[in-house]
Chain A
């Protein structure tokens, strides 16, 4: 039986109070929003805090001059179903709707999805399993079981919405004990499987701001074993602007091919100024797949996952360019 450890559970009224609690308690405490990532991890003893601090309700999807502001505790189901978001930024809405399963999207939040823990086949296992094979760097051990000669952890960034937000040039609003700041989503992550977030541990994500300029075309395509539930084996987010047949701007970012959501600027830059044809799309996808380095620590073989990155990037570009036909 998998039980949560004994925990103190605090429900502060505001984000500021939540940040103050965490700042006082330090590494003994963690935030919880929907709990759909954290609770399974706690049951497997992947973290051992003694206190959980509930992120207070931060609701609402608002459109304010040219961008959407989504409260951090808006559920993935709410974001995926929001008519304004679906019409203006289908890539982000789709990414939210492709996370996990319907009951988990009813509980899981947009803020929690951006902060979701990195994953690895040697880590997302019960305490007994990890103990029997030998603990790894990310928790309780001192070597990486995937790359034993490596001094770092290569656990995989597995958020579907993070790359979809990144290609929009989105930012998060962070509240700490001393006030508020805005941080681009692109700067929220670090290239490290353990310390994967660049924000302070006591900073609460209170909202995400998604620019939604007129005429922006977006898409997100996800690769996974089953058609639902599974974390991404790879994901491709695209944001595109066209002037007639000519690409005027393009950003592409990938999920689940590194310890952070990976933007591939070369691929976007290559397409700028060109016509979208089978050849240019395929060449851009080739460029996008180059820096993707899936390792042998997720489902299916990493050779196949690497090959599939090109395929899903192609699909995402086509889907963004021709939303009506997909």
Chain B
């Protein structure tokens, strides 16, 4: 086991990890942050999306040991984020949530998109969210939620 120390959602956290443990596993099983979901574990679905030093990444493909000293923000850390708050409301209002398994990952990715661009074109939205898969909604309502959240942020 190795000791890993990093910042998660603004607080310094420390725990043991076995070498080869993914950041996703570390967040869920060591730190009890279950918002990041564990689905494909191969970078295909985006349900494990987090911000790593401000960049959107799939935490299933990051070693916990490689996150030593990094700043991680998970969906839980977006609780008081003004952009994420509009995204969550818009997801509910537009019907962008069905089973909900993909939702935390989408909220993280949508927040990242809208931080840089309040009114992305349809193509920009599709591209920005293309690392996130949803098996339920057919995406149309998720794209609608991006537009609503963008408008609400004006």
Contact = CB atoms under 8 A, between A and B. Distances in A.
Partners in one complex: yes
A74 B128 CA distance: 20
B42 A107 contact: no
Contacts of B136: none
A2 B21 contact: no
B109 A103 contact: yes
Contacts of B41: 1-2, 40, 43
15 contacts: A9-B63, A9-B65, A11-B66, A34-B61, A36-B58, A39-B63, A40-B42, A101-B43, A101-B131, A104-B57, A106-B57, A107-B61, A226-B130, A228-B126, A228-B127
A6 B17 CA distance: 11
A151 interface: no
Interface string A34-48: 111001100110000
Given A35-B61, A227-B130, A229-B130, A106 B55 contact: yes
A40 B131 contact: no
A135 to B, nearest CB: 20
Question: What 7 A-B pairs come out closest when comparing CB atoms?
Answer: A101-B131, A228-B130, A4-B20, A7-B20, A40-B42, A106-B55, A2-B41
A101 B46 contact: yes
Interface string A179-221: 0000000000000000000000000000000000000000000
B111 interface: no
Given A1-B41, A229-B131, A103 B49 contact: yes
Interface string B8-44: 0000000000111110010000000000001001111
B61 A36 contact: yes
A7 B66 CA distance: 13
B2 to A, nearest CB: 8
B62 interface: yes
Secondary structure class of chain B's binding surface, majority of residues: mixed
A102 B124 CA distance: 11
B42 A43 contact: yes
Contacts of B20: 3-7, 9
B131 A6 contact: no
Nearest to A2: B41
A54 interface: yes
B130 A4 contact: no
Interface in A43-80: 43-44, 52, 54, 77
Interface residues of B, number: 31
A136 to B, nearest CB: 20
B56 interface: yes
A297 interface: no
Nearest to A78: B55
A9 B19 contact: yes
A282 interface: no
B73 to A, nearest CB: 14
Contacts of A3: 20, 25
Nearest to B55: A106
A99 B22 CA distance: 23
Given A4-B22, A7-B20, A229-B130, A35 B63 contact: yes
A35 to B, nearest CB: 5
Given A102-B130, A106-B56, A227-B126, A54 B66 contact: yes
